[in-house]
Amino acid sequence: MSATPKRVLVTGATRGIGLATARAFLDAGARVAVHGTTAASVAHARETLGHANTVAAPGDLATVAGCAALVDAALVGLGGLDVLVNNAGVYVDGPFEAMDEATWDRVIDVNVKGLFFTCRAALPHLRASRGAIVNVASESGVWGYALGTVYCASKGAVINLTRALAIELAPEVRVNAVGPGPVMTDMLRAQIDDAPDPKAHAASLDAWTPMKRVGRPEEVAAAILFLASDAARFVTGANLRIDGGATAGR
């Protein structure tokens, strides 16, 4: 981060990677608008962060109006915007034949449409500050796997949307993405706990990466902080893979 405190909006900041990202920016001296779907979840996250430099920015990312509302709340609280981190997302898996229209709409509305319209609502303010956007994609956006068709489609869209925006918005606004592999969040812990053999499932996740372990939320947050900082001022259109090498050979 530069010496000047930045004004940052983090979507999906109530847990996991989003919460760790909000904390990383706060530790770097930024002021952070914390987004969650409900006012209650945002209040709980701000209490967990325990920092005076946070503001609430609740909103439903699945609607255009909700995207505008959360950006407006961030602007009221921060007085402007230097960085937008699009972290919010939903994960659904299952057989392709079982993926109905409601499931498709839910994943695409949050993971792609919500990201698109949050960027659009924030753009005038990011242009004014010559700011940066960091989108949270996934290793699932660069390779496909069985039972993950809808999620893979959504994260592939995030990566290519990042590239297109980087070209269109340059040089005023930089746009990059990070592509996490398996990261030990509460969602992954729940997945492990729900597996027929939790111990074996956890071991298989560790074995998946050449680094032989899953990632930590703060490791992804550090990469996001770098891409948003002045140290990355010549970086745009990148998808920085934070996956322990999982996609290096794919």
Structure tokens given for 151: 């999620």
Does the annotation mark 151 as catalytic? yes
Average pLDDT over residues 73-101: 96
Burial of 171 (0-12, 13-18, 19+ CB in 10 A): exposed
Res 2 pLDDT > 70 = no
**Residues 36, 61 contacting (CB under 8 angstroms):** no
Check residue 1 and give its pLDDT: 61
Check residue 81 and give its pLDDT: 98
Choosing among 3.90.550.10, 3.30.365.10, 3.40.50.300, 3.40.50.720, the CATH entry for 7-180+216-242 is: 3.40.50.720
pLDDT category at 4 given cuts 50, 70, 90 is low
The segment(s) of the chain belonging to CATH 3.40.50.720 are 7-180+216-242
Check residue 186 and give its pLDDT: 87
Check residue 191 and give its pLDDT: 84
Radius of gyration of the chain, Cα coordinates, nearest whole angstrom: 17
**Residues 93, 107 contacting (CB under 8 angstroms):** no
pLDDT per residue over 18-57, tens digit each? 999 999 999 999 999 999 999 999 999 999 999 999 999 9
Res 216 pLDDT > 70 = yes
pLDDT per residue over 115-167, tens digit each? 999 999 999 999 999 999 999 999 999 999 999 999 999 999 999 999 999 99
Residue from 25, 117, 151, 208 carrying the catalytic annotation? 151
Cα distance between residue 152 and residue 91, in whole Å: 10
Average pLDDT over residues 235-245: 97
Q: 135: closest CA among 26, 1, 10, 5? A: 10
pLDDT category at 236 given cuts 50, 70, 90 is very high
Res 200 pLDDT > 60 = yes
Cα distance between residue 163 and residue 183, in whole Å: 24
Average pLDDT over residues 170-189: 95
Helix or strand or coil: residue 214?
Answer: coil
Q: How big is the chain, counted in residues?
A: 250
Q: 184: closest CA among 16, 22, 68, 51? A: 16
Helix or strand or coil: residue 32?
Answer: strand
The CA-atom distances, in angstroms, between 125 and each of 136, 173, 244 are 20, 10, 35
Res 5 pLDDT > 70 = no
Helix runs in the chain, H state only: 16-27, 39-49, 64-78, 101-108, 114-129, 149-169, 186-194, 198-208, 217-228
Check residue 249 and give its pLDDT: 82
Cα distance between residue 169 and residue 127, in whole Å: 8
The sheet carrying 54-56 orders its strands as 54-56, 31-34, 7-10, 83-86, 132-136, 174-180, 239-242
Cα distance between residue 36 and residue 149, in whole Å: 26
Q: 239: closest CA among 146, 126, 155? A: 155
Residues of the chain with pLDDT > 70, as a percent, come to 98
The CA-atom distances, in angstroms, between 91 and each of 138, 145, 173 are 11, 14, 29
Across all residues in the chain, what is the average pLDDT?
95
Res 3 pLDDT > 60 = no
Residues of the chain with pLDDT > 90, as a percent, come to 93
**Amino acid symbol at 234:** F
